[in-house]
Amino acid sequence: MRRADPGGPPSADPGEPPGTVEPHELRDLDDVERAAAAVLPAGVWDFVAGGSGREHTLAANRAAFERVFVASRVLRDVSARDTATTLLGRPVRMPVAVAPVAYQRLVHPEGESASARAARAAGVPFTVGTLSSVPVEEVTAAGGTVWFQLYWLRERGRTLDLARRAEDAGCHALMLTVDVPWMGRRLRDARNRFTLPGRVRAAHLHGGATSAAHLPSADGSAVAAHTAEAFSPAVTWSCVEELRAATGLPLILKGLLAPEDAVRAARLGVDAVVVSNHGGRQLDGALPGIDALPAVAEAVDGACEVLVDGGVRGGTDVLKALALGANGVLVGRPPVWGLAAAGEAGARRVLDLLAEEFGDALGLAGCADVADARRLRTLRAPAVSGAGRPHS
């Protein structure tokens, strides 16, 4: 599936924007994935698509969704369906937000700016990350609802400075990622000796084009070396309390799987949690988010909103997440695949496909709106040994 480079190590520079695919030709997110794989250099594809360790959790995320089945309702008037709802008190056209994905200029020169415009056009929030390759001010200039994702940095003051910068730039929420004391062992990047090209940098961190992410690393992955320098392995609940006290923006914690952690977050005034194993990129063997979701949703019992990510590949997955207790989902890799395949139009196509498929799934499940979907019953089929292995 991955495009092979003709000799030499995998490149980290896609060159000119591909633009080789007509967005209307992409019929589902599998099509988008294949289109991105066909145009991206092998090293960049592995950086975006890969997971940690032997990638068991990466595979399990998708397999877990495929094990969930919905008990559709019938004899209901579904001639008019409403996919709209609210997330963190703001209206959205569907219960979806775009997750933070680092260094999007790796796949397209406009990077996060193009992705944010696509999200604005689709009527869903876009999350710009600490490791964005475009400054937050340029992302918020696109308009729409923008959330800012924070990592807790070794320089505590810089973390709080970034939070203030995001607030000043017009972001509507802060999302603290809490499952990355350091980067998981992403073996594809290590084997590729992956480094960032000089034109791609972490726009919110020091170092520019001469950071550790741009220099060969003895351990293989320059990006992992850079994050080890920058991220604090001592992020604790006291950091959450400090951030909660420092901002009036809605606060999201991303990377929780245990119900007791979600309950504690809600008690500290967190507005939403994201049930997540970081897309299979941190602990290999972590529980899939969709499997952890019901217990988390039951435990918080409405005290904060509950989102889920990891393996969302279609509108039916959004329906399943709602039925299992989520307020919405985050989608990460697919918009980046769309950006790689066809630029801003490709990222927008991904979100349009999700909206179309979700509306279709609502009606076929006998639901007129999001509230109906959250009342559906589900059944989880047993796992099949060896199923759901990751593909590349």
Q: How far apart are CA 150 and CA 175, in angstroms?
A: 6
| Structure tokens belonging to residue 206 | 């020091």
Of 159, 191, 193, 157, nearest in space to 175 by CA: 159
278 catalytic, yes or no?
A: yes
Task: Give the count of beta carbons closer than 10 Å to the beta carbon of residue 222.
Answer: 21
| Structure tokens belonging to residue 372 | 């109906």
**222 contacts 212 by C-beta, under 8 angstroms:** yes
DSSP string, 29-69: HHHHHHHHHHHS-HHHHHHHH--STT-HHHHHHHHHHHTEE
SS3 content of the chain, % helix, strand, coil (to 5): 45, 15, 45
Q: How far apart are CA 53 and CA 259, in angstroms?
A: 25
Region of 336 on the Ramachandran plot (φ > 0 left; ψ -120 to 50 alpha; else beta): alpha
Eight-class DSSP state of 205: S
Please identify which of the residues 56, 172, 214, 278 carries the catalytic annotation: 278
Q: Which residues are the active-site residues? A: 278
